[in-house]
Amino acid sequence: MKVRQVKATNVLRIYNRMRQSPVTLDVLHDWAQKSGIDVSRRTLYRYLEDLVSSVAFPGERLVVYENEFNKKVWKIEFEKSGFLLNQYDINSYYILRNFIPQSLSQPRQSSLEKLDTLLYGLASKSRFQLNVDANNLYFQRTNYIDAVYNDNDHALLENLVWAMQNHRKIKIEQFDWDRNVLPKGLTEGMLVLPLKMVFHFGLVYYACWSEDADRIVMLPLNKILRISSTNLTFNAAPYRPKLEEYLLSTFGMAPNYDDEVYDIEIEFAGHTGTFVEAMNWHASQKKEVLPNGNLLLKLRCGINRELLGFIMYFLHNARVRKPKRLKDLVINELEQTMEAYKAEKLMYRSALAVAVA
């Protein structure tokens, strides 16, 4: 491609980028690198100056602002833009936009960019130019415990959304679960009634009612390999209270080891207690600072693998006070862990099998 054609293409891409939000030279250079545009900062500056002096589209104007320390901001404003956002509104949008889990945002990047353009087009006369660098450069996710969803997973997600919206039963044709943690009656080919999507600990779960098992089942999206929709409709209303009851009776998403709901007390020592106190763990939680300065966390829910993992995460700075069943399970898990380190070969054991043993 000739030099002039390359320049014209790059300039047009830059202008289209500014239809999403204002830019500084830092923001534009970062975007150019991520977009595969191999140009220097000086060249980008020349492109911007060319745009200011020679490009005009009907209903749009390119404005140059100077922020603190004479830092330039290039901003497109649309004449028909009449919706004004305050700075808190703008910051709220970009905080949420940048902290969407990568598992959901990356495959949907083109859709999100359309929404960026739409929002900015409606409210471009708002003061987007004030926090340009912060909104584009200074927010970062760690992507820790974030699922890896591919295009097939997102296609599945679209089908599941359709099934919920249209109250259609679906057949789970193929899945990849530890069958020991599934209720009896749940096998490949099972019919379920989709009720809700739940995002928890980096994963999307599909909350369903199983008529075969006569209970709520939480299906992680990344473990569903193939589904088929049916023409069988159902009324979701009677099952929504059952879902709310399920969510209250479980710690997280994992199925409980039994049908009991327990009064649980866990003591956390020192700074660990301070950390636990500042966080939300379960709808039933109550917190009490003990005379020794430790924190007592009180829960009312079932016992499952996720609760054990939560307790063991804090190692020697957490101790179960009650019930005895939970205390015994934690001790058993610790013993199993020690055995795993002593064994020559690491062998998988189902968490439910360990709990029942």
CATH of 151-244, one of 3.90.550, 2.30.30, 1.25.10, 2.60.40: 2.30.30
pLDDT for the residue 352: 61
Q: Per-residue pLDDT for the chain (357 aa), expressed as one digit of tens each? A: 566 788 889 999 999 999 999 999 999 999 999 999 999 999 999 999 999 998 889 999 999 999 877 899 999 999 999 899 999 999 999 999 999 999 999 999 999 999 999 999 999 999 999 999 999 999 999 999 999 999 999 999 999 999 999 999 999 999 998 877 777 778 889 999 999 999 999 999 999 999 999 999 999 999 999 999 999 999 999 999 999 999 999 999 999 999 999 999 999 999 999 999 999 999 999 999 999 999 999 999 999 999 999 999 999 999 999 999 999 999 999 999 999 999 999 998 876 655 655
Per-residue three-class SS string for the chain: CCHHHHHHHHHHHHHHHHCCCCECHHHHHHHHHHCCCCCCHHHHHHHHHHHHHHCCCCCEEEEEEECHHHCEEEEEEECCCCCCCCHHHHHHHHHHHHCCCHHHHHHHHHHHHHHHHHHHHHHCCCCHHHHHHHHHHCCCCCCCCCCCCCHHHHHHHHHHHHHHHCCEEEEEEEECCCHHHCCCCCCCCEEEEEEEEEEECCEEEEEEEECCCCEEEEEEHHHEEEEEEEEEECCCHHHHHHHHHHHHHCCCCCCECCCCCEEEEEEECHHHHHHHHCCCCCCCCEEEECCCCCEEEEEEECCEHHHHHHHHHCHHHEEEEECHHHHHHHHHHHHHHHHHHHCCCCCCCCHHHHHHC
pLDDT for the residue 67: 82
pLDDT for the residue 179: 79
Taking the model in full, what pTM does it have? Answer: 0.89
In the chain, where does the domain assigned CATH 2.30.30 lie?
151-244
pLDDT for the residue 351: 64
pLDDT for the residue 138: 96
